[in-house]
Amino acid sequence: MMRLYNTLTRSEEPFAPATHNAVRMYTCGLTVYARGHIGNFRTFVCTDVLRRTLKYLLGYDVKQVMNFTDVDDRTIAGAEKAGMDLRAYTDQYIAMFREDAQALGLEPVEEMPRATDEPNLAAMAKMISMLDRNGHTYRSDDSIYFKISTLPSYGRLARLDHEGMKPGARVDTDSYAKEDARDFVLWKGHRDGEPFWEYPALGITAGRPGWHLECSAMAQRLLGDTIDIHAGGVDLIFPHHENEIAQSEGATGKPFSRFWVHVEYLIVDEQKMSKSLGNTYTIPDVMAKGFRPSAVRLLLLSAHYRKQLNFTWDSLAAHEESLRRLTDFLARLDTVAGDGSHDAVQSRVDDARRAFAAAMQDDLNTAAALGAIFELVRALNSSIDAGDVGAGDVPVIRQAFDEFDRVLGVISLRRAEDARPPVPVDEIERLIEDRQAARRRRDFAAADRIRQELAARGVLLEDSAGGTRWKRK
């Protein structure tokens, strides 16, 4: 059985879904006021691997919701500054997210709601009405607030000190200072120039939702009152996730999420990412440096999700090399010519399978799982060198790596990248033929020039007794 660290209890606990075989999981998605950066995508890649582990390793059915926050203080300010309609402004960043998610091999989730979709806004109004009935709200200056003193359990996720809370004080902004626990806004009264909605039948006048309300309502509408896993970055524990619990449990009287999973920060060159430092790199920024998203994915999985991970260009280059070793090993299997199969190979593969599964079920220990994979690569390369791997062993080896990759999603991503080379395939093949013709007529300068031109364009040629093959640089 899988063990997961639960932020709510500060302990690892055995995980199984509450209902039959179906896992209901909510992941806080991107606030679409800018393109997502690699720090955001550390969370999304780790939760993608959690999803894959639950599905492919443990055999659960997973229904995952990952939202887009397309109305909050930042999206409204960004749209106003750009002179754009809010929907059109956020559309562009949603499109960029989808592009980057595909580039990083994120598996599509079942639901990706936008906060401003009408069914979600109606769900938010309904939740406020439920909170009204349960005595958790009050109105002031046309806005509606959650009164945290009405919920004695408030603060247990973030371990807030109740002595330090500010009774009667309230906050209108969507995010605020760490542990500055105050009554928070559920519905902001309409201000000139801002989009607004109203639900008079529920007593909700013109305005727009607060950020925290959006996720609670979408999770409840799409997954039910109590879900199995709520995931996000550690920066969301307070105030966002604390306030989600207050809203959801204040409305329904039921536990909101059984497990809370939080991914630690990605730092860059030992510094926190910030626009002022110019180190909030995006996937296009990484690709402009000559690296591929598959190497980024491998790097983001190289440390345990609950440990800070330091990103450097050197570390990305090292993971590019690790991925090359992995794909070169799998390509080498095509050259295995000996007959038969070997019990020792089967035994090594089985040991690696068990180590991989144990690591992933141990609170998603991707670092240990990758270690098991690369140890198997090392051992099998040595066995191939010694002639101790036969053609009958190859399907067994390939099946194991396919199983590993269904969970980690790195090899398939690299193969998809290789299928989209920086130079059209027919042009590469034509230039290889031109180079071979030049070599036959002993024009080695022309042959070298073709090789160098392709290398400059990101395509490497490798000659062997069986001919010439190409790969991405």
So where are the chain's domains?
2-263, 288-417, 425-472
Q: Which is nearest to 116 in space by CA: 145, 76, 87?
A: 87
Name beta bridge partners: 229.
25, 259
Residue 296 has phi, psi (to 5 degrees) of: -65, -45
pLDDT on residue 165: 76
Cβ count within 10 A of residue 83? 7
pLDDT on residue 145: 96
pLDDT on residue 167: 65
Q: Which is nearest to 140 in space by CA: 172, 181, 173?
A: 172
- Taking the C-alpha atoms of residue 115 and residue 121, their distance in angstroms, rounded to an integer, is 7
Per-residue pLDDT of the chain (473 residues; tens, 9 = 90+): 999 999 999 999 999 999 989 999 999 999 999 999 999 999 999 999 999 999 999 999 999 999 999 999 999 999 999 999 999 999 999 999 999 999 999 999 999 999 999 999 999 999 999 999 999 999 999 999 999 999 999 999 999 987 767 767 888 888 887 667 889 999 999 999 899 999 999 999 999 999 999 999 999 999 999 999 999 999 999 999 999 999 999 999 999 999 999 999 999 999 988 877 888 999 999 999 989 999 999 999 999 999 999 999 999 999 999 999 999 999 999 999 888 999 999 999 999 999 999 999 999 999 999 999 999 999 999 999 999 999 999 999 999 999 999 999 999 999 999 888 778 888 999 999 999 999 999 999 999 999 999 988 888 999 887 789 888 77
- Taking the C-alpha atoms of residue 185 and residue 284, their distance in angstroms, rounded to an integer, is 36
- Taking the C-alpha atoms of residue 167 and residue 283, their distance in angstroms, rounded to an integer, is 44
- Taking the C-alpha atoms of residue 382 and residue 399, their distance in angstroms, rounded to an integer, is 19
Rg (C-alpha) for the chain, rounded Å, is: 26
Whether the predicted model's global pTM rises above the 0.85 cut: yes
| Tokens representing residue 441 in the block | 């007529």
Domain spanning 288-417: CATH 1.10.730.10: yes
Which distant-in-sequence residues (6+ apart) come within 8 Å of 169 by Cβ? Answer: 182, 183
Which distant-in-sequence residues (6+ apart) come within 8 Å of 411 by Cβ? Answer: 326, 327, 330, 401, 404, 405
pLDDT on residue 178: 67
Cβ count within 10 A of residue 101? 23
pLDDT on residue 9: 98
3-state DSSP assignment of residue 17: coil
CATH of the domain spanning 2-263, picked from 3.50.50.60, 3.40.50.1100, 3.40.50.300, 3.40.50.620: 3.40.50.620
β-pairing, 467-472 vs 459-464, is: antiparallel
Give yes or no for a contact between 300 and 266, defined as CB atoms under 8 angstroms apart.
yes
Where do we find the tokens 């247990």? 156
- Taking the C-alpha atoms of residue 329 and residue 378, their distance in angstroms, rounded to an integer, is 9
